[in-house]
Structure 1
């Protein structure tokens, strides 16, 4: 009697990951959110400023409205409009490695209409228990560094 081994099958080779080319400075990305380039800074314009600037419309979303000042209205705006998940933010996708201001390397964790959440390594310290920090990035400066 011949037995079949459960683990004789060779695993399929993973598809090679093609590295992404960074977006050239001054170039507007193809993005799900609107993109503008002003005074050497790339950003996603708000709805109340688009009449005064040149911008590339988003593939999926219109410009984000300004946030309300009242706390409950702000919470509703954040949940229903600003924090809506997107496939990218100004060309940034989950897993991209970028530089944030201060020459710190960070990895994009998620993207939404408001910005991209990035995770960066914190310096080791005997007083700190955290090894990583997170922040939103919403703009890129003329040196290619992202910031809020």
Structure 2
């Protein structure tokens, strides 16, 4: 009687990859020190041990370090004007966001360790792995982080 094999086994194991994969962002930087305002292209402030970039309308009332390139982010406009605000103000590319640069590996609240993909005036875009399933087709998810808590973890 013939049996049906579910897997075809070979006598020799597959060869390991010939060259190690190059990392897209090979540099590793030390995490930002807690309690210090980082030199950044956007304004930086502390409130109850949380680091964030103050927005227009609140920056006038708090002590903050001005940004090297940008001032406080203007308040977003409601409705259809939001898209123009995002294209012109919120998503303007920056060299860093509160000291974060593309390629940095940072801890994010409720997610774990993630990699910073890009930075803009609004925040830092990060990517993290997620299992593929019925609700998601990609093996990763992306989100913006805009603040850091007193334990060094970033969040939105």
Q: Which runs of 5 or more residues in structure 2 are unaligned?
A: 1-25
Q: Which string of whole-angstrom CA distances, capped at 9 and with x for unpartnered residues, describes residues 11-47 of structure 1? A: xxxxxx6631211111100000000011010000011
Match of 1:92 among 83, 100, 107: 100
Q: Supply the distance in 2 between the matched residues of 1:50 and 1:108 (Cα, whole angstroms).
A: 26
TM-fit CA distance, 1:104: 1.0
Q: Supply the distance in 1 between the matched residues of 2:118 and 2:107 (Cα, whole angstroms).
A: 16
CA 1:69 to 1:94, structure 2 compared with 1: closer, same or farther past 3 Å? same
Match of 1:29? Answer: 38
- Contact 1:103/1:145 (CA < 8 Å) preserved in 2? no
Q: Supply the distance in 2 between the matched residues of 1:79 and 1:125 (Cα, whole angstroms).
A: 31
1:49 aligns with 2:58: yes
Correspondence 1:1-148 to 2 at 5 A: 19-71=28-80, 73-122=81-130, 124-125=131-132, 127=134, 128-148=136-156
Q: Supply the distance in 1 between the matched residues of 2:88 and 2:111 (Cα, whole angstroms).
A: 33
Q: Supply the distance in 2 between the matched residues of 1:64 and 1:89 (Cα, whole angstroms).
A: 12
Deviation beyond 6 Å, 4+ runs, structure 1: none
Match of 2:15? Answer: none
CA 1:38 to 1:126, structure 2 compared with 1: closer, same or farther past 3 Å? closer
After TM superposition, the score normalised by the length of structure 1 is 0.83
- Contact 1:31/1:89 (CA < 8 Å) preserved in 2? yes
After TM superposition, the score normalised by the length of structure 2 is 0.79
The alignment's C-alpha RMSD in Å is 1.4
TM-fit CA distance, 1:51: 1.6
